[in-house]
Amino acid sequence: MELHYTPNHGSWLNMAQIELSVLARQCLGQRLPDLADLRREVAWEAARSAAGQAIDWRFTAAAARSNLKRRYPIAADGGTGEPQNRVCREAFHPWLPRAMPITRERQPMDRLRARHVPAAVAAAWAWASAYALLAAAVAWGVLAPFDLALGRAAARGVPCAVSNASATASVLFAGELSVAYAAALAALCAAHGRRRAGAAILAGLFATVAIELLSKAFLPQSAPGDVLQSAALAACAGPGYPLTLVATPNSFPSGYAIRCAYFGLLLGALLGARWPRRARAIRALLGLAVALLAGSRAVILWHWSSDIVAGLCLGLAAGSVVLALAQDCHWLQHGGEGAADGLSRAPGHPPT
């Protein structure tokens, strides 16, 4: 008796199943009246083998290591070859000495975490520092001349169509709708088994609201509408604000700009992870949309420019913290483009 060892975690069985499936679909999917016809049809396999037909493996090693973590363990402990767990012990081929070291690549999610989490934390610190500097500048009155100049320009030369469009756009990230957006994103994370990421999204939103209210309570900066009078805006019969308005003593920072940046960053990460090849274009378009939507509050004289810039910084800081906790949403990557069943189009070898 001759023993042929097959790999414990290989895809040799998939190869056999694929070949039998091709044979059934291309040759045996018809009525074969006699044995001669059957042999003639099965002889098709010889031509296929001679042509060197290859298998287009679309379930990549990266997808396998993410979706089948227990079956694709990390390297053995200390390079000695001693397995860390039962699954790693099973990964040893039976004919290899037990002490022989093996080298296993780190799981892709570990690499992504090592690369993206520090970057997200650094971005959060940078945006939070920018917000703190803007808050100090507003407290000392450094930015008042610039805000006043830009506010007067907006009060003078804004057409009614622009002001009405800005008033309509200012509803998109209102408080009630923002809670609904956060709940929808949290449900999406929970559907992918990432409940902590969903909880972080909700917590990040409420944390920004708390910081916004505290800043408006202690940083004195009146709203532009209390300082400037705009006959052009008064003449425009724009739509009223249909949702809840919370009265605050000051205007710094813009809560609307906070939520624009917060959800724009999260949506960019989610869509970029879902369609990696279009990630840059998606984020560029979302960045432009966030800037325009946040700027709509300056057009209708609800906020100064410094309010909006500070709100964007605070929203980006909170969003960066959430992305660090959510691993930059790269767990959506394996369901991306061309992968309705969790596969990708990259040809190559079976997962190892």
DSSP code for 280? H
Can you read off the two tokens belonging to residue 102? 């093996």
Give the pLDDT score at 115.
Answer: 55
Residue 164 phi/psi, 5-degree rounding, is -70, -40
Query: Phi/psi zone of residue 141: left (φ > 0), alpha (ψ -120 to 50 degrees), beta?
Result: left
Identify whether the C-beta of residue 298 lies closer than 8 Å to the C-beta of residue 291. no
Q: Which of 300, 124, 139 shows the shortest CA–CA distance to 216?
A: 139
Helix and strand numbers, DSSP H then E, in the chain: 15, 0
How far is residue 200's CA from residue 36's CA, in Å, rounded to a whole number?
A: 67
CB atoms near residue 96 (< 10 Å): 10
How far is residue 60's CA from residue 81's CA, in Å, rounded to a whole number?
A: 26
Residue 82, beta-bridge partner list: 77
Can you read off the two tokens belonging to residue 173? 């990230």
Can you read off the two tokens belonging to residue 29? 């999917």
How far is residue 15's CA from residue 314's CA, in Å, rounded to a whole number?
A: 52
pLDDT, mean of each 10-residue run, the chain (352 residues)? 62 75 77 82 77 73 71 50 41 40 43 62 92 94 90 76 80 88 92 88 95 92 78 56 73 93 94 86 94 88 92 95 81 47 36 36
Q: Which amino acid is at 189?
A: C
- In sign, the C-alpha dihedral spanning 156, 158, 159, 161 is negative
Identify whether the C-beta of residue 116 lies closer than 8 Å to the C-beta of residue 327. yes
Give the pLDDT score at 212.
Answer: 94
324 CB burial (10 A radius; 0-12, 13-18, 19+): buried
Task: Spell out the domain ranges in the chain.
Answer: 76-104, 108-335
Give the pLDDT score at 344.
Answer: 33
- DSSP run (H or E) holding 131: helix 108-139
How far is residue 96's CA from residue 90's CA, in Å, rounded to a whole number?
A: 12
Give the pLDDT score at 319.
Answer: 94
CB atoms near residue 233 (< 10 Å): 21
DSSP code for 91? T
CB burial of 274-284 (b: ≥16 within 10 Å; e: otherwise) equals bbbeebeebbe
Residue 92's contacts (CB-CB under 8 Å, 6 or more residues apart) are 83, 98, 102
